[in-house]
Amino acid sequence: MKKPKIVRETLIQSIQSTLQVLGEDLQREGLLKTPERYARTMEFLTSGYHQNIDQIIGQALFSEDSSETILVRDIEIFSLCEHHLLPFFGKAHIAYIPNGKIIGLSKIPRIVDAFSHRLQVQERLTSQIAKELLRVLAPLGVAVIIEANHLCMMMRGVEKQNSSTITSTFLGAFKEDNAARQEIFHLLNGLGSIRNSRNF
């Protein structure tokens, strides 16, 4: 693996060349530090390639007899579309049915970040998160639902501003048992209604 300093310098040179090809003046005040900012930004947005899920989780797996659905909803997602290098962003809802183990709640968003901080397509991102939770927890079931807006559709191409994309992956009980799967939608819809209630 290249050292971070070498990677950063390569990114800086790359964006300098791109800006010049686009006709920009690299000595213009607003662009003087742009190549370095771009390099640091790309390092952050692709940092998931260098993250180890087992290290992220650490000791945050706990024995627990519960076998009721656990749902973490509205996890913010920011990622880069690998086709155009434009952002897509939205929310993930993640559920699992424990099978003797539960995971510290903060670790689920961290797993989401590890996979979203890569060049992605939403379909793969959804599947990767679900499969990793299945590997780590060996639960009775895992469900991952992501709703996102894609700037590659909003800023260019079809230029549709109000469209969103929903993807889902259901594994184990959530795939095999329709009642379990419907419980997820009931929880998501029901909690949404509670949040919007004036009495909440």
Question: Which residues lie closer than 8 Å to 160 by C-beta, 6 or more apart?
Answer: 153, 154
**152 in Cβ contact with 88 (< 8 Å):** yes
Closest CA to 113 of 78, 148, 165: 78
Give dist(CA 126, CA 133) in Å, integer.
11
Structure tokens at 158: 């079809």
Structure tokens at 147: 């709703």
Give dist(CA 82, CA 35) in Å, integer.
20
Give dist(CA 17, CA 26) in Å, integer.
9
Give dist(CA 107, CA 110) in Å, integer.
5
Q: Which residues are catalytic?
A: 81-84, 122, 150, 152
